[in-house]
Structure 1
Amino acid sequence: MRRKRQRDSPPPEGKKKLKGNQHLPRPQPEDELHQWIHYYWHLGFNDKKIAEHVLDHFNKQEYGLSAKTVQRIRKELNLLGTRQQQASFETVMPYFTELRRLYPNMGARAMVTVLRQEYNLKVPEKLLNDLFNHIEPDKVKQRKYKRFKRRRFWSAGIMDVLTMDQHDKHQRFGIRYHLGFDPFPGRIAWFRVWWSNRNPKITAKYFLDSCREREGVPLVTQSDPGSENYGPANCQTAIRHRLDPSLIKTRQHRWKNHTQNVKPEAVWSQMRRNFFPGIETALEVDVTQGLYNINNPLEKLLFRYLAIPLLQALCDTYTRRYNSSPRRSDKRKVLPQGIPDLICAKPHLFNTEDFTIKVPEDLFDEMEAKYAPPEDPALQLTPPEFQALADMAYQRLGSPVVRLENLWNVYIDMLQALRQLEETQTDEFVVVLEASDSGYDFEMELIPGLDELREGLAITPGGPCYMGGVNLEREHRLRRWEVRKEIARVMEVVMMEKTFGSMFNGQISIAKGMLFSCIL
């Protein structure tokens, strides 16, 4: 007997009956939706995770997005999956050859990220491992036997402490590097190359530019005890004093020696293996062929003009890739594990807090005018007189795109063109060349009359201290007997629970809480 079809019942009071397929419309505008799908696809997420994360940027009450919709949009944007692209040795080999010139020591995991983010190519890691084992088994063996030297580092959250350090391994070429690093999410705040890293105005500019992007400053900054870091220290301290008068007597910067500023040193170590070898190989051509004399002012300025923008672009690419890819999972790591940019953007997903101190834009402008004025010679790539002539010579050559492969060819052609210009033969231009290093160094004084932050055993009652708990190795060693005693007591309570059941649950919870606080 056929069942009688029931009529549609009216919707409950207070709810509107949806038309169509009963689903919310996809987010609008389309351009913004496509932008976020691009972003999360390049992070390596599947369609389901892309849909979840993309909706965080739109009104979830108004819009909806399913994994199937993401899949359809991906096809429209030509963002194909691993199976759809069907990568093979033949298709990967041209990219492999190109990347090997720049990154001779890159492993399979890193190359998977590079191919996805820079070439829109999804390749299985197993395929690259098979390719490496077939082509370069010796390098695979070398990478397997790397051992990481473990260090302890405590941090309360995002922007709890911002560390910084300089790198001078390429000073023989006249270029130097500076790094800012947030240890908690493992994110590079800045990675800059310039012709000097000794001038505190330069490092202050790096710090302020990075903090402008975050729209705030960290609780504390940290660096080696060098005068080149007086600029960031003064900026950080002045901003924190302005926003919180209770800190007026303390310096909001910590000085750490070489063995204690471990996080940026660890990043430099990674870069020495993974980033710099290809660059050094390209730059060493001048040593073998005698193309570049760093003691010649004209050659030195021309090298700055060509090499620093090129190297900065490579540094920016490395920074973007580093911040948008997770580190290898480690069960012994307590800090959050994941993609650094995602940890900073969505700390609630990692059960953490963002301690960024929000700073108004006009205060940033004030600090920049005081500690890093844009018109200062130290912040200019080359003197304006040389810049104008170099631009003229570059345009006469047809404005060629400068890469590592053709850097020295463009350098030779431009050097010949500059030497033929009448303007470079004048006495005034010679004075400009001789004064080109006037901004290499600068003596900046620290804000006087401030107490340094103390931590660990240096904390005195009523004195200035910071409770971030970084590198309290000595204090932790002195308290190990307390930890062992607490562990023994908790284990005794646990054994009692196994014997007598759940009547001691409350005592066990209290004991475990005391143990956790003792270990921290």
Structure 2
Amino acid sequence: MPNPTGRNGIRLRAPDDAIIRPLVEKYVAAGYKNPKIVAKLKDHYNIEHFNVSLSLLKKKRMQWKVKSARGQDHTVHSIGPAIERVRSHFPYQGSHDMKDTLLQEEHLLVSCYFWTAGVNKVWCFDQHDKWRRFQLFLHVALEPFSGQVLWLKIWWTNWNPRLICGWYCDTVERLGEMPLLTQSDPGSENNGIANGQTLLRHLHDPALARTLQHTFKGSHRNIKPEIFWSQLRRRWAPGFEHLLNIGLDEGFYNPDDPLQRLCFHFIFIPWLQSELDLFTDRFNHTTPRHNINKILPHGRPTNIFTNPEGFESCNFAVKIQGNYLEQVQETYAPPDHGVFNLVPPEFAIYAEEFMSSIGDPTVTNNNVWEIYNNLLEHLSTLLDNGDLQSIIAGQPALPEEGFLGSDFMPVVDMPQYRHMQTNGSQGDKDREEEVVLSSDDDESEFEFIWTSSESGSGSA
């Protein structure tokens, strides 16, 4: 029988090491697995005369000691000095540039892991605009150590800093505590949270005055929420997106029509919010798939969030005192602001009267478009009413970018707070090392962060 590794029964020999070793090192550094490396090597030698099998590649890598990131088995301490050297030259590098620099200049091959000190050290926020064509916008807040979803909101805008700060204040009030820091993308819609968190921390600890208690992460560096959005779109969104598209495809709903848009928001947003609440509860009470590369605790997010001590961690939250939260709300998220209204109050009166007349039916995916069409038909017959006409006429036309409800708020002009004091243990244990060396989810890679500072701690 002919030798399957050769031509006409003749075994092919391997290319010279001088040819393939640099290529193997390059592909290993780029993260390719052995089967992919074997395939890519064929582009660099004559396959009629040479061959590199999978078993040969493994043997060669052992001889050359060309190890993967996992094989190099680096720790925070082993790569720490190298990271400090790179950081001194490139203080704002993200994960990919940092990994490339470590490989090129320090000859270190590093994976990516996410690590943070404990529960409530930081809260992360992000917006999601994939449903802009429906004039629906989402926003999420996560506690990254536990993976707990703090809120998952759908509204007719996510560009208003007062709205986002209002959700933050509601959550702080519900929990009775706030994080040490908050974190988001640089978008101005997050300035409300940045200002609110900063003021609230200052009121509780005047020593923090003149420091911003929020960090802004550049593009694709606020990774935890981005991974959550990928999970939501895969696990929850498809069926609802299909249902929403029916309205556009069948001509039931035109977002450019103010009356249709108000009817749509009145019916769909509360229903979709209830569905998102169910998903959030399920997400928080479900143990993620086990990942041997994850260095944060494994378990149900809600268990880790509510009982960090049971997972050999601690709670860095700061307990809310006095009426400080009310001061923040009045300053940055006044409850009577129009952005908190689902629809204009005058319109809500007409819509609620109709819903009451038909028995306030429970909205489901089976009847949601029927209820919407009935409401739209009823209100269309009332357009001769002067009050309703004025309500509709007062609705803004959709801007070209498709976002309503934006309201610019400048962020307070303060330097970011870098060195947080601790009430914890003494000596080296007081020092905090924060390293992002790989994702706890195979959807994406995390940023690379290295800090060496005093560990932050609030009263638990």
With over 3 angstroms needed to count, the CA separation of the structure-2 counterparts of 1:292 and 1:303, relative to structure 1, is same
1:253 paired to 2:217: no
1:441 paired to 2:416: no
1:451 paired to 2:451: no
Partner of 1:430: 389
Q: Deviations over 1:214-258 (max 9, x none)?
A: 211101100000000011110100011111112112100000022
SS in 1 for 2:149: strand
Whole-Å separation in 2 of the counterparts to 1:299 and 1:316: 25
Whole-Å separation in 2 of the counterparts to 1:389 and 1:304: 14
Q: Percent identity?
A: 35
Whichever residue aligns with residue 378 of structure 2, its letter is: A
1:227/1:443 contact within 8 Å kept: yes
Q: Deviations over 1:323-362 (max 9, x none)?
A: 1111112222110111111112222211100000111252
With over 3 angstroms needed to count, the CA separation of the structure-2 counterparts of 1:314 and 1:165, relative to structure 1, is same
CA deviation after TM superposition for structure 1 residue 161, in Å = 0.8
CA deviation after TM superposition for structure 1 residue 468, in Å = 6.4
Structure 1 or 2: larger helix share? 1
Whole-Å separation in 1 of the counterparts to 2:449 and 2:269: 44
Whole-Å separation in 2 of the counterparts to 1:195 and 1:361: 33
Picking from 287, 291, 304, the partner of 1:326 is 287
Picking from 469, 486, 492, the partner of 2:434 is 469
Partner of 2:358: 397
With over 3 angstroms needed to count, the CA separation of the structure-2 counterparts of 1:468 and 1:413, relative to structure 1, is farther
CA deviation after TM superposition for structure 1 residue 436, in Å = 3.7
Whole-Å separation in 2 of the counterparts to 1:403 and 1:279: 11
CA deviation after TM superposition for structure 1 residue 467, in Å = 5.1
Q: Deviations over 1:368-413 (max 9, x none)?
A: 1221111111000011110000011112223221111211111111
Partner of 1:227: 188
1:375 paired to 2:336: yes
- The normalised TM-score by structure 1 is 0.58
Whichever residue aligns with residue 282 of structure 1, its letter is: L
1:278 paired to 2:239: yes
With over 3 angstroms needed to count, the CA separation of the structure-2 counterparts of 1:151 and 1:428, relative to structure 1, is farther
Whole-Å separation in 1 of the counterparts to 2:259 and 2:171: 32
Whole-Å separation in 2 of the counterparts to 1:211 and 1:361: 13
1:339 paired to 2:300: yes
Whole-Å separation in 1 of the counterparts to 2:185 and 2:127: 9
2:168/2:193 contact within 8 Å kept: yes
CA deviation after TM superposition for structure 1 residue 267, in Å = 0.4
CA deviation after TM superposition for structure 1 residue 434, in Å = 3.5
Structure 1 spans left out of the alignment, 5+ residues: 1-149, 456-465, 480-520
Structure 2 spans left out of the alignment, 5+ residues: 1-110, 398-403, 420-430, 438-446, 453-460
Partner of 2:126: 165
Partner of 2:368: 407
SS in 2 for 1:402: coil
Partner of 1:303: 264
Whole-Å separation in 2 of the counterparts to 1:245 and 1:339: 36
1:181/1:189 contact within 8 Å kept: yes
1:57-206 correspondence to structure 2 within 5 Å: 151-206=112-167
Q: Deviations over 1:253-281 (max 9, x none)?
A: 00002221110000000011001001101
SS in 2 for 1:284: helix
Whole-Å separation in 1 of the counterparts to 2:190 and 2:435: 19
With over 3 angstroms needed to count, the CA separation of the structure-2 counterparts of 1:470 and 1:215, relative to structure 1, is farther
Q: Deviations over 1:11-38 (max 9, x none)?
A: xxxxxxxxxxxxxxxxxxxxxxxxxxxx
**Root-mean-square deviation over aligned CA pairs:** 2.2
Whole-Å separation in 1 of the counterparts to 2:293 and 2:436: 17
CA deviation after TM superposition for structure 1 residue 427, in Å = 4.2
1:353 paired to 2:317: no
With over 3 angstroms needed to count, the CA separation of the structure-2 counterparts of 1:258 and 1:242, relative to structure 1, is same
CA deviation after TM superposition for structure 1 residue 431, in Å = 3.0
SS in 2 for 1:469: strand
Whichever residue aligns with residue 451 of structure 1, its letter is: P
1:264 paired to 2:225: yes
Whole-Å separation in 2 of the counterparts to 1:349 and 1:414: 51
**Paired residue total:** 316
CA deviation after TM superposition for structure 1 residue 159, in Å = 0.5
Picking from 242, 251, 257, the partner of 1:290 is 251
CA deviation after TM superposition for structure 1 residue 314, in Å = 0.6
Partner of 1:82: none
Whole-Å separation in 2 of the counterparts to 1:324 and 1:475: 29
CA deviation after TM superposition for structure 1 residue 452, in Å = 2.3
SS in 1 for 2:305: helix
The farther-off stretch of 196-205 and 392-401 is: 392-401
Picking from 172, 179, 187, the partner of 1:211 is 172
SS in 2 for 1:425: coil
Whichever residue aligns with residue 433 of structure 1, its letter is: I
Whole-Å separation in 2 of the counterparts to 1:435 and 1:374: 22
- The normalised TM-score by structure 2 is 0.65
With over 3 angstroms needed to count, the CA separation of the structure-2 counterparts of 1:468 and 1:258, relative to structure 1, is farther
Whichever residue aligns with residue 128 of structure 2, its letter is: H
Whichever residue aligns with residue 325 of structure 1, its letter is: T
1:37-52 correspondence to structure 2 within 5 Å: none
SS in 2 for 1:307: helix
2:204/2:321 contact within 8 Å kept: no
Whole-Å separation in 2 of the counterparts to 1:194 and 1:202: 10
1:383/1:436 contact within 8 Å kept: no
1:382/1:436 contact within 8 Å kept: no
Whole-Å separation in 1 of the counterparts to 2:448 and 2:343: 48
CA deviation after TM superposition for structure 1 residue 470, in Å = 5.6
Whichever residue aligns with residue 409 of structure 2, its letter is: M
With over 3 angstroms needed to count, the CA separation of the structure-2 counterparts of 1:227 and 1:187, relative to structure 1, is same
